[in-house]
Structure 1
């Protein structure tokens, strides 16, 4: 076992993070390298640039006057392909090793049962245990085991020698595969991070979001709506904590920062740390709540851009989540209060239904080079519909 060579071994100095895209958090696919030296998936970079209408590096923010011609970095693509194949092959070899170890363990148990026999009768057609013992002693090749002095020619002695050899093989299997298992599991967790259209894997299972409302108290923040972004179809309460669909269009001063649809952002922007806030949705039949960058296009809809994320109640008994411009249907129950947990240290966004017991609705990764603002959409133009940022209960 010491000479095992799987041919596609992953170098110890190479980790999946070395070949990862910070945008999708998966292995590089069709990698492109910017003049600053940072590399990303081409489609991820084009999607981010298209959403923000900027041509800067998401890592160092070095910009360009115009969109660059993105060419594949063939060396990085080759490394990413080899890493992926090696990781899969390594897991397959580990699986075979575990199966082999289980088989040897079974053999050890059989031989120990043979050894426990006080009297071994002579070999005969009806004596299966003795026949098996003789087969071990006569036909099994144990050349890999270490030689022993004074091997006995008696049946009991031969079984004792076989047991010794099997235990040595068992120990070598444990050394070669049991110690490698945690590394393989860690590598496979990394490979499974890439988001899909149907679900979104957790970014860090070792540090899950808090499970009770009281756990959020230390991260609760005070929010207020930003009038610069407020749609002319909406109006805000005097305390800037309730937004309502107006009965008639409001004559706000025109600004390129104002949404053309029934949307509004909060004044507060977050680029680090953990934040939590709650939104009362009981007085709104059609809504979406989430986060977005200030650069989100003012004629686009929350969740339909690569720099905005949300959950949405359609008013037709359907709750959905929008992440990476893709919809995930969550169920048919409307949450009366939505809790939003933004963990920028772990690049994670989670939505909860806040009631007597808090229920996780959806969790997904967030990323980007711009700070994120709490975002709201009241659609359907139903006058009087409102959303309220409510104080967090301790």
Structure 2
């Protein structure tokens, strides 16, 4: 008995492939339920290669992956609907009644019908989307390589230091003694050829990583401008496909109007540290530096910024991703040069320990904040309310710790780096505006 013929209005997007932006041709449905042209899917998977961040066989829509390439089988229902749509679009019409009975014997797949031509704007968007996807996967891969090299460096240094590594642990427990153990191991002052080669490899990877990020950011901005300038193609359905919208541009910091760009003060710089020419990057030296004597110089691996803050509201950010053990905060200029940040009455900080612990230090008291490591720390200093706050900065600011501070004396941005790991660095970032 024939079924009812119900009129259904379809748009091209309802039977379209998000890869080629055309009608489905030999549609293959993945285990997650999304369908694509077989040739488009195989071409995309082949372009990714075996090192596609562990997601070579991922669905382009929902990113659900598989351990091995899934077997692609033809979705005959979608193929029939797409063929009917093609014929209807050409003005040939189609019988809306039931589908004909199947042939007694399986017949070979018919030759693929010609695809509807892609609109130039859609083709450009598809190419741009593929470039963006490859760029993101390359960035993820380089980040993994950087982490691997850093892990190898740390393991090698710990193995070389042997018993001397206990001094590093002891130094985190005896801050009040004022003894700087950052140079206690003579073994770490010497550099073998393999260590030098590893540093060169890490440097090259970091350069590649930064270039990838810059190019990816530029392409995202360029694509957003292109989408705004190009007119939208007429369609009865303007809904975006799931998970296919571009990531939202990074939001400017809510503290941008009060952002400052402090610089490291060379008079306070410890002899175990060195700074970049623009005074925005501080790094643990591979050998002691011969700076001129100054009573303002820290004996431990610490440094202040030159800017004295005593009124109003200020905000700055510090990139901590290249340092395994650090503390960032504020201190008065009169802070004792043989004490550790946060262990005095005139300093306060948040500190990341190599034991995967984030703490806040204020008035000699430690407050454990958790085990999540912030890649970028934002510091908000509000003298009008007598408030100091630390934020983890990603796409938005997440409060880590807040305390009251006194305006009795000016405060300076302050930093401490773990002295037993040469190459560790902290970076004062430019705040997004």
TM-score by length of 1: 0.46
TM-score by length of 2: 0.42
